[in-house]
Amino acid sequence: MTKSEQLPWSHDTELNLSDFLKKSMSVASTIMENEQVRQQASKHLGSLIQLRQRDRPVTEDVGVFNRLFKAAEQQMADAQDKKVLSLLKAQVATFIGASFDAPEFTQAKDEAKDDDEENEPRLSWATVANQGKRLDENERPDDPFGPERAEFDHHHKMAADYNTYDRGDDEDDQQAPQEEEDNAPRERGMGGRPGQGQWAPAKRRYRRNEYRRPNASNSAFHPTPLGPLPAGTYCIPAFFPNEESYDLFHAALSSAKKTLHVAIFSLTDNKTANALIDAKERGVDVKVVADDGQLDAKGSDVVRLRDDYNIPIKIDDNAQFMHNKFAVIDDSIVITGSFNWSIGARYHNKENILITNIASVAEAYSKEFQHLWQILYDA
């Protein structure tokens, strides 16, 4: 008998959130002893929470944690274990309050009693398994923060590698920085496949006094003012998380008539991907430049665009990110900003975009896309 067969429900048993928490806590050791079962349980819980919170931000639904801790406490007979659980609950409550500016869930209503459990969404393991990477085309993937986590991990490593002080270095801090670069070992950088592209310094020491020297700035800021702008010119800022901002973003993508050229780090939102698919089916020239990590990322739509809809994709081929986040529509409209085209960015992150048809901006972004398309590689 496998561990999954020892669970108090079958693969076809539909459970709501309360049922799932109670039953899973009653067989916690069975779940945790089997990696496959643990992953199934986590995915089931995640899918139930996604359904339940689809239209409710976390700040309005923190009481779900009460259910989790209550279900766990009911399975504990040892007083010491209950004390440990109580401490963990208090700490998690503090984390939730500080991270989401939400009331501590310990102060929230006991939703296990107040909610009408019969009206809660129910899912079986079999249903969750058949859902694939997301619940439906507008649902969140298993890990909505996967792209952001990848960015964070990469930047953390970069900081450790590059931004360290040479505290034990007895050399004169006035040594020219260029000399360090000239003597540094070199490794493959952007476009750096063996035999082609560019090669870049592998590493460069950050010297404490380097950017404090007189006249160390690169240049003074002398922007070139724009000339008179024609009637109909616009530059629209929008901020996330906000569905009105997303609707504006989606409408701009859907306005493409001839070309839709996208350079994006992360694409995990099906509704956004469908805007590209719809454009392709209208005869628009759709091209996508993406980070190579998108080919294997959970919930990524990049491979689907390529394999199912013949949308050409190009990727980088090095350890660094293709970190652009812009689109050029009909060579005349630009969408750009911090906004990853991900579920996490759409529903959770503090993000921004600008949508503009300023001609000089559109020309510059169009030129940069063509450059990327030329130097990067077919996915």
Per-residue pLDDT of the chain (379 residues; tens, 9 = 90+): 454 557 777 877 888 877 887 788 778 878 878 777 887 888 888 777 777 665 555 555 566 777 778 778 877 778 888 888 888 877 777 776 666 555 666 654 444 444 455 567 777 877 776 654 444 444 444 555 566 666 666 555 655 655 554 444 445 544 444 444 444 444 434 444 433 444 444 445 555 555 555 565 567 889 999 999 999 999 999 999 999 999 999 999 999 999 999 999 989 899 999 999 999 999 999 999 998 887 877 778 999 999 999 999 999 877 778 889 999 999 999 999 999 998 888 888 899 999 999 999 999 999 999 999 999 989 7
Q: Is residue 312 part of a domain?
A: yes
Look at residue 78 in the predicted model and tell me its pLDDT: 81
CATH of the domain at 374: 3.30.870.10
Q: Is residue 71 part of a domain?
A: yes
Kindly report whether the peptide bond that precedes residue 223 is cis, defined as omega within 30 degrees of 0. no
Encoding tokens for residue 142?
């298993």
Look at residue 217 in the predicted model and tell me its pLDDT: 58
Q: Is residue 221 part of a domain?
A: no
Question: Which residue reads 């006035």 in tokens?
Answer: 174
Give the C-alpha separation, 264 to 147, whole Å. 11
Q: Is residue 331 part of a domain?
A: yes
Q: Is the dihedral angle over the CA atoms 189, 190, 195, 196 positive or is it negative?
A: negative
Residue 275 near residue 361, CB atoms below 8 Å: no
Q: Is residue 4 part of a domain?
A: no
Residues 6+ apart with CB under 8 A from 83: none
Counting the structural domains of the chain, the total is 2
pTM of the shown model: 0.53
Q: Is residue 79 part of a domain?
A: yes
Q: Is residue 114 part of a domain?
A: no
Q: Which residues pair with 329 in a beta bridge?
A: 260, 333
Q: Is residue 326 part of a domain?
A: yes
What range defines the domain where residue 87 resides?
A: 17-49+58-96
Other beta carbons within 10 Å of 5? 10
Encoding tokens for residue 219?
């240049």
Look at residue 230 in the predicted model and tell me its pLDDT: 95
Q: H/E/C letters for each residue in the chain?
A: CCCHHHCCCCCCCCECHHHHHHHHHHCHHHHHCCHHHHHHHHHHHHHHHHHHCCCCCHHHCCCHHHHHHHHHHHCCCCHHHHHHHHHHHHHHHHHHHHHHCCCCHHHCCCHHHHCCHHHCCCECHHHHHHCCCECCCCCCECCCCHHHHHHHHHHHHHHHHHCCECCCCCCCCCCCHHHHHHHCCEEECCCCCCCCCCEEECCCCECCCHHHCCCCCCCCCCCCCCCCCCCCCCEEEEEECCHHHHHHHHHHHHCCCCEEEEEECCECCHHHHHHHHHHHHCCCEEEEEECHHHHCCCCCCHHHHHHHHCCCEEECCCCCCCCCEEEEECCCEEEEECCCECHHHHHCCCEEEEEECCHHHHHHHHHHHHHHHHHCEEC
Encoding tokens for residue 303?
């491979």
